[in-house]
């Protein structure tokens, strides 16, 4: 019973962190208006959080091993709550960005510590179900965040998206203090050069990925950030290979299953946002739905995932991570394929059915690879493996959103031009629009007014049609990301030697392709 209480405590803290990543986006316009900030500066409310996570997560394993996992988990919750209160009391856009950094210091540690705690508390045969249940907040948060955030911004104020963390966070801290027990610690030096290089490398990478769509991937600032990131991360790998007590033990990547699971997670997170990012954007921009109604439209996806997660956990010991992950990806992409022809007039119930299929695929395939990876890692590498895997999840999420945003931004003007080229003198399109002009005049508008209204309707219609086609391309890219997940999933199989060596045995066996 104690271990399941631990899971409840961990999921409670994890929900705080994951919800905060999606709830802030809907408040950006109100924050801009209150502080008189421009769009470029206000975006750092989001990107500063991500950059700090890139700095904090690599050092989380060291802190857990040397200071105590329970202690650091409670500290991470307290810092997150403190940062939330400071964000709510911000007096300027600069102070809000600074306090988001404080909040991210706590938030960046919550996920990797949660994964490590669960891996240490649960036996190998119980781990699939525990990890599956942990995965539910990962899928629920992107759907609930915009709904809750939209409601608070609409009916209360944007500050309440941060105040909300206090009444949830304080019980989470108390529960963690009472329920968790401290794990064994060790004495080792901090790899300072590795910490500095990883912090600069991963933070600049996340910043470049986040700002790429707005500033242009070929702009001097983005190219410079990528160059800085590659340089620092290259030096980081060299340092980790030479120091005696590395921040990131490169022996992690000798474990085929862990490495494969990391790549699976990367592509799966990129694909995941095809539904969790593009669908809400489509519904709000092109169907003029509010954030609350948009969030409710995503509920079938969340329910599908929640239903399949425990089924996936039960199937994992019998089927194996390889086939389960592939099956999940196939179901997910099958549900996403119809979205590549989504139209403004598509019945909302039909859309919900497709999203339910996507959710079932996610519930089936999102956790088996991660579960197997933790089961096959030596105990000494679990904390580092957890921190790095979560960092890859963050990078995959950010890159997925950025690439999909870039496709929308670059394709829409192309399709506008193509539509405009079809409206030539004497073409059917030109004749149809002239008929609209005649109809407007028959309603009492002068010829000049009718011409002006017709042109306004024409521009609006062309831009809307072009946006729909751009969304089709973005949805197709998300499907491709999903199919790419299958390649690393093929390397998740366990041979008999690795089963014996890791003592996973029949509990997590099978899955040989």
Helices (H), 277-347: 278-285, 291-297, 299-319, 321-336
Task: Please give the structure tokens belonging to residue 163.
Answer: 């105040």
* CATH topology assigned to domain 1-190: Growth Hormone; Chain: A; (1.20.1250)
| pTM reported for the whole predicted model | 0.81
Give the integer Cα–Cα distance in Å for 466 and 346. 16
Give the integer Cα–Cα distance in Å for 314 and 324. 11
pLDDT of 436:
63
Residue 424, burial from CB neighbour count under 10 angstroms (0-12, 13-18, 19+): exposed
Nearest-5° angle of CA 139, CA 142, CA 143?
Answer: 90
Q: Report how far apart the first and last C-alpha atoms of the chain are (Å, whole number).
A: 36
Task: Please give the structure tokens belonging to residue 471.
Answer: 């969304």
Residue 123, burial from CB neighbour count under 10 angstroms (0-12, 13-18, 19+): exposed
Q: Based on DSSP, count helices (H) and strands (E) in the chain, helices before strands.
A: 22, 0
Using alpha carbons, select from 200, 207, 194 the residue that is nearest to residue 50: 207
Give the integer Cα–Cα distance in Å for 222 and 208. 5
**C-alpha pair distances (Å), 340 with each of 22, 274, 349:** 24, 10, 17
> What does 366-434 look like in DSSP terms, one character per residue?
SSHHHHHHHHHS-GGGHHHHHHHHHHHHHHHHHHHHHHHHHHHHHHHHHHHHHHHHH--TT-HHHHHHH
> Which residues, in sequence order, are CB contacts of 230 under 8 Å at separation 6+?
201
- What pLDDT tens digit does each residue of the chain (513 aa) get? 678 888 888 888 888 777 776 677 777 778 888 888 776 677 778 778 877 887 888 888 888 888 888 899 999 999 999 999 999 999 888 899 999 999 989 988 888 888 888 888 887 777 777 877 777 777 677 667 777 777 787 788 888 888 988 988 899 899 999 888 888 777 888 888 988 998 899 888 888 888 888 788 889 989 999 999 999 999 999 998 888 888 888 888 888 888 998 999 899 888 887 677 788 888 888 888 877 787 788 888 888 888 888 888 888 888 888 889 999 999 999 999 999 999 988 899 999 999 999 989 988 888 888 888 777 788 788 888 888 888 888 888 888 888 888 898 888 888 888 777 766 555 565 555 566 665 655 666 666 666 666 666 666 777 788 889 999 999 999 999 999 999 999 988 776 554 544 444 333 333 333
Task: Please give the structure tokens belonging to residue 282.
Answer: 């489509």
Q: How many CB atoms lie within 10 A of CB 245?
A: 11
Helix (H) or strand (E) segment spanning residue 482 = helix 447-489
Using alpha carbons, select from 22, 9, 20 the residue that is nearest to residue 298: 22
Give the integer Cα–Cα distance in Å for 30 and 155. 12
Give the integer Cα–Cα distance in Å for 10 and 364. 22
> Which residues, in sequence order, are CB contacts of 509 under 8 Å at separation 6+?
317, 320, 494, 499
Give the integer Cα–Cα distance in Å for 209 and 205. 6
CATH node for 252-404+462-513:
1.20.1250.20
Provide, for the chain, the percentages of residues in helix, strand and coil under a 3-state DSSP scheme, each rounded to the nearest 5: 85, 0, 15
> Which residues, in sequence order, are CB contacts of 427 under 8 Å at separation 6+?
none
pLDDT of 508:
38
> Which residues, in sequence order, are CB contacts of 446 under 8 Å at separation 6+?
none
pLDDT of 103:
92
pLDDT of 507:
39
pLDDT of 444:
62
> Which residues, in sequence order, are CB contacts of 439 under 8 Å at separation 6+?
none
């Amino acid at each position: 019973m104690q271990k399941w209480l631990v899971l409840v405590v961990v999921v409670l803290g994890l929900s705080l962190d994951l919800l905060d990543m999606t709830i802030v986006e809907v408040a950006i316009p109100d924050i801009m208006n209150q502080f008189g900030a421009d769009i470029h500066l206000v975006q750092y409310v989001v990107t500063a959080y991500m950059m700090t996570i890139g700095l904090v997560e690599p050092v989380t394993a060291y802190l857990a091993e040397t200071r105590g996992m329970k202690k650091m988990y409670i500290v991470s919750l307290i810092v997150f709550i403190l940062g939330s209160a400071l964000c709510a009391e911000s007096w300027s856009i600069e102070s809000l960005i600074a306090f988001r950094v404080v909040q991210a210091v706590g938030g960046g540690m919550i996920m990797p510590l949660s994964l490590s705690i669960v891996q240490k508390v649960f036996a190998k045969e119980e781990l699939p179900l525990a990890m599956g249940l942990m995965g539910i907040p990962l899928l629920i948060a992107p759907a609930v965040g915009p709904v809750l955030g939209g409601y608070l911004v609409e009916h209360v104020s944007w500050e309440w998206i941060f105040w909300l963390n206090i009444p949830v966070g304080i019980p989470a801290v108390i529960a963690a203090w009472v329920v968790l027990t401290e794990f064994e610690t060790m004495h080792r030096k901090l790899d300072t050069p590795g910490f500095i290089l990883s912090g600069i490398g991963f933070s600049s990478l996340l910043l470049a990925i986040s700002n790429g769509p707005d500033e242009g991937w070929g702009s001097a600032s983005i190219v410079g950030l990528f160059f800085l990131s590659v340089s620092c991360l290259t030096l980081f790998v060299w340092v980790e290979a030479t120091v005696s007590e590395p921040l990131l033990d490169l022996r992690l990547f000798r474990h085929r299953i862990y490495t494969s699971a990391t790549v699976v997670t990367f592509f799966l997170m990129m694909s995941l946002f095809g539904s969790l990012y593009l669908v809400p954007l489509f519904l709000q921009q092109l169907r003029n739905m509010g954030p609350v109604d948009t969030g409710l439209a995503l509920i079938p996806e969340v329910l599908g995932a929640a239903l399949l997660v425990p089924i996936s956990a039960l199937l994992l010991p019998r089927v194996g991570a390889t086939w389960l992950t592939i099956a999940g990806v196939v179901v997910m992409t099958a549900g996403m394929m119809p979205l590549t022809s989504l139209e403004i007039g598509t019945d909302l119930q039909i859309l919900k059915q497709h999203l339910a299929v996507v959710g079932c695929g996610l519930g089936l395939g999102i956790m088996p690879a991660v579960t197997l990876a933790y089961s096959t890692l030596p105990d000494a590498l679990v904390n580092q493996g957890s921190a790095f895997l979560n960092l890859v999840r963050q990078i995959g999420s950010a890159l997925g959103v950025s690439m999909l945003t870039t496709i929308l931004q670059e394709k829409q003007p192309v399709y506008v031009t193509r539509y405009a080229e079809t409206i030539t003198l004497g073409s059917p399109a030109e004749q149809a629009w002239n008929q609209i002009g005649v109809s407007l005049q028959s309603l009492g508008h002068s010829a000049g007014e009718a011409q002006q209204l017709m042109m306004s309707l024409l521009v609006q219609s062309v831009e809307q049609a072009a946006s729909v086609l751009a969304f089709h391309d973005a949805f197709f890219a998300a499907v491709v990301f999903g199919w790419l997940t299958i390649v690393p999933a093929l390397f998740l199989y366990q041979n008999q030697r690795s089963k014996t060596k890791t003592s996973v045995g029949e509990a997590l066996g099978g899955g040989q392709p």
